[in-house]
Structure 1
């Protein structure tokens, strides 16, 4: 990286009991950029994000914020700097959307001043941006999956941190709301300079919205950099085991991953077998 990063990992080792997930990983998160982590299931991307948000204690190495180990920083101080939306958050029983979102303001409040105009403004703006204002009085556990996800995102936005960690923020959302959420993430980054780190499953969405892409496999970083520089058919095959063609997105020009031809039934006797094109026959990375 050409400049100092506020959030870094140094020889980071992460494990669950005796199973090592990430082993001696070094990482620098670019400040003021949208970083997206991609990779197959169980590759360690969500585990890494949990460690960056101090939800998981390292077995070795450290995560550092402004050069200081997270383990040495008071929790409230971390909560003012890093907001985290985990993959499957569980709300307190019976809590309403408005109450849930308001909890994002707790790190900013003091014992002698529990509520301010800044809190009110941050909560209202977060709910407006996520389309949850009309759900304010609804219990969170009565919402649909998509509505619930938007409520959690609103809470993370209300926390108003300079670094925002999002673990699969588009889970349970239909395609229109997925785009809305990712557009919101980009808007927060571009207009307010927020540093965002997100885990996404959709490689094409990652390539479209990321400034910096991190591709992981088996607990290690295979490649990282701007999507245009690293997203190739060879990388897709190495990380996901998928044969594909990578072409420019017709709207944005970003890399667009097109999987190989879908399965087709065998030709019936007496009919001609469709002839494979040169592109169909080419191995990954040579199409």
Structure 2
């Protein structure tokens, strides 16, 4: 082990008699954005739940600062690791401000239930997620996108060094997806937060991750910088999708372009240049992949 705070050793995870993850070793790089990708039911959300101590390992262990999570008091874990699950359910009738405020519970003491630091953390979390104007509204009356931003605000208010996000862009339109992922990167870059997120969109993962983990059938197939991990061969092996991988024209990160949609004359591009619309001399031209 290299000394990273959150690690897993020989981790086996199961639901009743169905093993989902088996004998998995993992190190979450400190101070980086790690994104886990993979097909449905590959174990990525199950792994995230175990990292947040929502699921007890069948074998092996998750460790925080070298100590098994099972040996650490829940309060101490909650002060260090924040988790936004995939489908959180709010208490009936709770308002946005009250829900976000619950993120401060791990930091409160019996003789001091609310402090100026709590007030500041909640206000900042709501401001960052654009939920301040929703403060007095019941959470169960919000749209899916609004509700997701409120949950993210609660996770931010918890103010932990490690933040686990299970599909944080669910229910959000593309503009709000980018907003949330930009916020995640900002928290990482400006405050050094270690982030682990599960994402379905491989191109968003490649754009925002410092460290990318590709899973299939409960095992890690590849991990490392997106430029090293995201290849046409990897996409085929993990997702069963034939594709072409080209540089993102904005960031230079890997960009996965699936094969052409079905049509009578559909064909594969003959080269990367044909996908990107450039010739050997660098002049743009129209790209025909249908």
- How do residues 269-280 of structure 1 correspond to structure 2 at under 5 angstroms? 277-279=269-271
Query: Matched residue of 1:205: which SS?
Result: helix
Query: Matched residue of 2:195: which SS?
Result: strand
Query: Matched residue of 2:136: which SS?
Result: coil
TM superposition shift of 1:230: 1.1
Q: Partner residue of 1:181?
A: 180
Q: Partner residue of 1:231?
A: 230
Query: Matched residue of 2:213: which SS?
Result: strand
Inter-partner Cα distance in structure 2 for 1:212 and 1:230 = 9
Deviations 1:51-76, CA, capped at 9 Å, x for gaps: 00000000000000000000000000
TM superposition shift of 1:242: 0.3
Query: Matched residue of 2:87: which SS?
Result: coil
Q: Partner residue of 1:191?
A: 190
TM superposition shift of 1:277: 4.7
Inter-partner Cα distance in structure 2 for 1:44 and 1:139 = 33
Inter-partner Cα distance in structure 2 for 1:90 and 1:144 = 14
- How do residues 1-287 of structure 1 correspond to structure 2 at under 5 angstroms? 3-264=2-263, 266=264, 277-279=269-271
CA contact (8 A) 2:260 2:266 kept: no
Query: Matched residue of 2:246: which SS?
Result: strand
Query: Matched residue of 2:19: which SS?
Result: strand
Aligned length in residues = 272
Query: Matched residue of 2:10: which SS?
Result: strand
Query: Matched residue of 1:278: which SS?
Result: coil
CA contact (8 A) 2:260 2:267 kept: no
CA contact (8 A) 2:62 2:68 kept: yes
Deviations 1:74-103, CA, capped at 9 Å, x for gaps: 000000000000000000000000000000
Inter-partner Cα distance in structure 1 for 2:18 and 2:269 = 45
Query: Matched residue of 1:190: which SS?
Result: helix
CA contact (8 A) 2:11 2:25 kept: yes
TM superposition shift of 1:276: 5.7
Query: Matched residue of 2:57: which SS?
Result: coil
Inter-partner Cα distance in structure 2 for 1:274 and 1:62 = 49
Inter-partner Cα distance in structure 2 for 1:243 and 1:255 = 15
Inter-partner Cα distance in structure 2 for 1:230 and 1:241 = 16
Deviations 1:147-206, CA, capped at 9 Å, x for gaps: 000000000000000000000000000000000000000000000000000000000000
Q: Partner residue of 2:284?
A: none
Q: 1:276 to 1:139 in 2, by over 3 A?
A: closer
Q: Which runs of 4+ in 1 moved over 4 A?
A: 273-277
Query: Matched residue of 1:166: which SS?
Result: strand
- With normalisation by structure 2, the TM-score equals 0.92
Q: Partner residue of 1:283?
A: none
